[in-house]
């Protein structure tokens, strides 16, 4: 299991794990046995970092962790792998237990499908069974995102992504259908087909539905480009190296769907994933081609490496026909968003002010920050084409995340819509967040949905 959910359990019998702000160490020490305090001082401990406090007979009496702030959600993010085997009891406020418990669990993540890793032997106990169960499901949702993104492309092509969606549907009794290959043309998803037709792995549109038809309708759309060579506008080697993560949007919506279904959020959920490989062959789509979209708009191809918005536009047009309460898409869409915000802060676009307020508040509450970027409509001019309704890529290198968002906006007319432009990848190891696939904004969106619909 990628997240070792058995490493967080409900219980009351472990070694006390005390987490305190470093400035409170002297106050804590005043109430402790003299021998323990003397041992801590002799070992040079002054309230910063980890200390194992000895008890009688050489036993472990307590674990002490001095931190800068108890509000840091990652204070236990690397603790599971640092503690010796055993059970550790954590107490605190509800908010603290939620933050610390999730950070602990995410710190147990290992992607060990191809390489063995050192097992985590420490176990955290919290005396609250419903809270523990919830944290386990939230962690599993994040782990699903990480696992899918981390899987190499030879084992994560459109058919494998389909299998992952089908497995998730089976786990929660959801309904799953898909369109494969030329069925996409028959059912009028021409741009999904055009992007994926050059690959031996047939393009697909995955469609998962779950929930009561009478509940508020929420539709998630995820970019599922399982590998992106750039097409005929081929990427350089450095740019292609980590393009296994270009299906990160699909991974995000599947991880979010796991949370929604596992925690029984009362929504009528639909998940749409256009799954393709952007490959190079004799029938690859070309710069200068004009494609007709599901909505009927024609698109001139300026650059075949701007393929994500092509597969998304057909899926978004379909989502919009049902006029759900909201549409939320996730996509590893532009490098421009990373230039603006860096790799660890996900940007999003929306014209729905109430959604933006709720998302910002939710992200802050659950320590999953998100940042709104502008849909600056004057930049629509950059999408003009001489021969079609629009181009797929603006000629200017500036404001690329905005023009990509404006392109997608053309395909959602009736529904409040949020577009996330994400990295889906940790470039550096941080507590609870190893290098590799990562979920950005998923917990914030879940919190927003829960606040609205629970």
Extract the runs of DSSP E, i.e. beta strands, from 268-424. 268-278, 290-292, 298-300, 326-331, 347-349, 371-372, 390-391, 417-421
Give residue 119's pLDDT. Answer: 83
Question: Do both 155 and 12 map to the same domain?
Answer: no
CA 192, 145, 104 angle in degrees (round to 5)?
170
Same domain for 177 and 274, yes or no, is: yes
Q: 134 lies in a domain?
A: no
| Known catalytic residue at 338 | no
31 and 122 both lie in a single domain: yes
Query: What pLDDT score does 56 carry?
Result: 84
CA–CA gap between residue 350 and residue 335 (Å, rounded): 19
Q: In terms of DSSP bridges, do strands 60-67 and 49-54 run parallel, antiparallel, or are they unpaired?
A: antiparallel
Low-confidence residues of the chain, pLDDT below 50?
A: 1
Catalytic-labelled residue, pool 204, 270, 294, 309: 309
β-strands 371-372, 347-349 pairing: parallel
**Total-model pTM:** 0.97
Residue with tokens 């480009």: 225
The reply to whether 259 falls in a domain is yes
Q: What pLDDT digit, counting tens, does each position of 229-288 carry?
A: 999 999 999 999 999 999 999 999 999 999 999 999 999 999 999 999 999 999 999 999
Quickly count: other Cβ atoms within 10 Å of residue 239's Cβ. 14
CATH number of the domain encompassing residue 276 = 3.40.630.10
Pick the catalytic residue from 32, 134, 209, 235: 235
In a domain, 123, yes or no: yes
Q: Where are the alpha helices (DSSP H) in 263-346?
A: 308-321, 335-341
**Distance in angstroms (rounded) separating the CA atoms of residues 17 and 62:** 6
Are residues 163 and 71 part of one domain?
Answer: no
Same domain, 119 and 148: no
Coil, strand or helix: which one is 273?
Answer: strand
Do 91 and 230 belong together in one domain?
A: no
Strand partners, 178: 206
Shared-domain flag, residues 242 and 363: yes
Q: What is the CATH number of the domain that holds 123?
A: 3.40.220.10
The reply to whether 133 falls in a domain is no
> Which residue, 127, 160, 179, sits at the end of a domain?
127
Question: Considering 78, 105, 127, which residue would you say is the last residue of a domain?
Answer: 127
117 assigned to some structural domain: yes
Q: Do 339 and 437 have their domain in common?
A: yes
Q: Which pLDDT value is given to residue 3?
A: 63
In terms of DSSP bridges, do strands 347-349 and 390-391 run parallel, antiparallel, or are they unpaired? unpaired
**What's the domain range around 245?**
139-453
CA atoms within 13 A on the CB side of 402: 16
Residues 123 and 147 in one domain: no
pLDDT for 57 equals 83
The tally of domains found in the chain comes to: 2
Q: Does any domain span residue 447?
A: yes
Distance CA 222, CA 132 (A): 29
Span between the terminal Cα atoms of the chain, in Å: 29
Instruction: Judge if 92 and 143 occupy the same domain.
Output: no
Assigned domain for 132 exists: no
Q: How far apart, in whole angstroms, are the C-alpha atoms of residue 425 and residue 436?
A: 5
Buried b (16+ CB within 10 A) or exposed e, 162-176: bebbbebbeebebeb
**Is residue 100 in a domain?**
yes
Does the annotation count 235 as an active-site position? yes
423-448 pLDDT, tens digit each: 999 999 999 999 999 999 999 999 99
Angstrom distance (rounded) from CA 323 to CA 342: 33
**Domain endpoint, select from 95, 127, 159:** 127
Same domain, 333 and 213: yes
Residue 410, token pair as written in the block = 């053309």
Residue 260 sits in the same domain as residue 292: yes
């Amino acid at each position: 299991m990628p997240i070792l959910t058995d490493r967080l359990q409900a219980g009351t019998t472990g070694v006390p794990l005390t987490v305190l702000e470093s400035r409170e160490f002297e106050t804590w020490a005043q109430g402790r046995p003299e021998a323990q305090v003397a041992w801590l001082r002799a070992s040079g401990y002054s309230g910063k970092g980890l200390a194992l406090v000895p008890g009688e007979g050489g036993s472990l009496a307590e674990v002490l962790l001095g931190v800068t702030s108890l509000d840091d959600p990652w204070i236990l993010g690397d603790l599971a792998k640092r503690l010796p085997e055993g059970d550790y009891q954590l107490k605190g406020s509800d908010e603290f237990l939620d933050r610390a418990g999730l950070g602990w669990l995410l710190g147990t993540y290992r992607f060990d499908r191809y390489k063995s890793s050192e097992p985590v032997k420490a176990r955290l106990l919290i005396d609250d069974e419903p809270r523990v169960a919830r944290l386990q499901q939230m962690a599993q949702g994040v782990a699903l995102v990480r696992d899918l993104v981390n899987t190499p492309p030879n084992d994560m092509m459109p058919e494998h992504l389909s299998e992952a969606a089908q497995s998730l549907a089976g786990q929660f009794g959801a309904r799953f259908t898909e369109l494969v290959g030329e069925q996409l043309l028959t059912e009028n998803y021409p741009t999904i087909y055009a992007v994926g037709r050059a690959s031996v792995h047939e393009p697909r549109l995955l469609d998962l539905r779950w929930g009561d038809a009478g509940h508020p309708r929420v539709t998630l759309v995820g970019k599922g480009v399982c590998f992106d060579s750039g097409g005929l506008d081929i990427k350089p080697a450095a740019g292609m190296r980590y393009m296994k993560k270009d299906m990160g949007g699909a991974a995000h919506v599947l991880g979010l769907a796991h949370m929604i279904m596992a925690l029984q959020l009362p929504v009528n959920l639909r998940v749409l994933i256009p799954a393709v490989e952007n490959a190079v062959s004799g029938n690859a789509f070309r710069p200068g081609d004009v494609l007709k979209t599901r909505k009927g708009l024609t698109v001139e191809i300026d650059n075949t490496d701007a393929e994500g918005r092509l597969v998304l536009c057909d899926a978004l047009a379909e989502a919009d026909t049902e006029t759900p309460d909201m549409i939320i898409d996730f996509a590893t869409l532009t490098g421009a968003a990373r230039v603006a915000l860096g790799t660890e802060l996900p940007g999003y676009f929306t014209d729905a002010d109430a959604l933006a307020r709720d998302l910002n508040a939710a992200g802050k509450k659950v320590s999953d920050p998100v940042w709104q970027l502008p849909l600056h409509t004057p930049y629509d001019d950059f999408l003009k084409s001489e021969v079609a309704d629009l181009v797929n890529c603006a000629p200017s290198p500036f404001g690329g995340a905005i023009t990509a968002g404006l392109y997608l906006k053309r395909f959602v007319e009736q529904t409040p819509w949020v577009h996330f432009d994400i990295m889906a990848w940790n470039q550096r190891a941080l507590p609870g967040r190893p290098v590799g696939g990562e979920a950005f904004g998923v917990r914030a969106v879940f919190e927003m949905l829960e606040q609205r619909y629970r």
